[in-house]
Structures are given as structure tokens and as C-alpha cells.
Amino acid sequence: MADVHDEFEKWRTVIAPFLYSKLKEFHMLGLNHLTFDDFWQFAKETMEGKKKEKPERIHEVVAHVMSLSVNDYMNKLRIDMFKDSETDMGTLFHLK
């Protein structure tokens, strides 16, 4: 199976001005720790998460990136945190 992230990697340099614009918005809203690479990774993960309608054209990719919100990012962090804590808890229980 081809890596889904590679499918979107071709758009990175083409839509970079939009990515930087959205990243600047996130920084203005207090997420100063977020880097360009982290934001691009987040955008790719949300695009791959679209089961039926993955963006295939440049205007769809740009529209998706520009629709991302700080709330979307915070939800992703929260979910990742719970996944990590479940893994940690599973490891603890297997040690006993």
C-alpha cells in the first residue's frame, strides 16, 4: 500500500503560501509552538482522515487547509493524548 502522506506531499511546496498564512493565524491565536512541519503533518492527517472525499485538486487541498481551525488542532492533540495514555496504561497492566 502506498503511503497516503506521499500522495499529499506533492502539494506542500505549491500551497506553501496558504500553509504559512494559516500557520500565522494559529500563532496569532496562541499556538506559537506549532512549526511549519507540524502544521503540514496535521493538515495531511486531516486530509487522509476524509474517507470518501480526499482532496485531489489544488483548490480542494487549499480549501481544506484554509478550513482548519485551532479547535480542530486542539481536538487532535486531545485524541493523541488519550491514545498515548491508553498505550501507557496497557503497558502498565502487562507488566503486572
pTM: 0.79
Q: Where are the beta strands (DSSP E) in 1-96?
A: none
Q: How confident is the model at residue 83 (pLDDT cuts 50, 70, 90)?
A: confident
> So where are the chain's domains?
4-69
Q: What is the pLDDT of residues 60-73, one digit of tens each?
A: 999 999 999 999 99
Q: What is the pLDDT of residues 7-56, one digit of tens each?
A: 789 899 999 999 999 999 999 999 999 999 999 999 999 988 776 777 88
Q: Using CA atoms, how far apart are residues 21 and 1, in angstroms rounded to an integer?
A: 33
The reported pLDDT for the residue numbered 52 is 74
Q: How confident is the model at residue 94 (pLDDT cuts 50, 70, 90)?
A: low
The reported pLDDT for the residue numbered 91 is 56
Q: Using CA atoms, how far apart are residues 39 and 77, in angstroms rounded to an integer?
A: 12
